[in-house]
C-alpha cells in the first residue's frame, strides 16, 4: 500500500508511506525526502550535475 503523506520541505518532491514505512525523514515537524535529508548525498548529486 502506498499513501501520500506530503511534500518534501526543501525540494517539493512527494513523500509516501509505503507498506507502513516512511519513505523519507521527519525532523522537527518537517518532512524531507531521503535526498534532501542527507546533505552528503545532496552534495554528491550536485557535483555529478556540474
Give per-residue pLDDT as tens, 1-49.
Answer: 899 999 999 999 999 999 999 999 999 999 999 989 887 665 666 667 7
In a domain, residue 49? The reply is no
Whether 16 is covered by a domain: the verdict is yes
pTM: 0.72
Identify whether 48 is part of a domain. no
Give the model's confidence band at 50: pLDDT under 50 very low, under 70 low, under 90 confident, else very high.
low
pLDDT computed for residue 39 by the predictor: 75
In a domain, 50, yes or no: no
Contact, 45 vs 27, CB < 8 A?
no
Q: What angle do CA 6, 11, 14 make, to 5 degrees?
A: 30
Q: Into how many domains does the chain fold?
A: 1
In this predicted structure, what is the pLDDT of residue 46? 67
- Separation between Cα atoms, residue 31 and residue 10, nearest integer Å: 9
Range of the domain at 26: 2-43
Give domain status of residue 17, yes or no: yes
pLDDT of the residue at 3: 95
Amino acid at each position: 500500500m502506498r499513501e501520500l503523506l506530503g511534500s518534501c520541505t526543501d525540494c517539493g518532491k512527494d513523500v509516501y508511506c509505503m507498506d507502513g514505512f516512511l519513505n523519507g525523514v521527519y525532523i522537527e515537524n518537517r518532512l524531507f525526502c531521503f535526498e534532501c535529508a542527507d546533505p552528503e548525498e545532496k552534495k554528491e548529486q550536485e557535483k555529478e550535475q556540474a
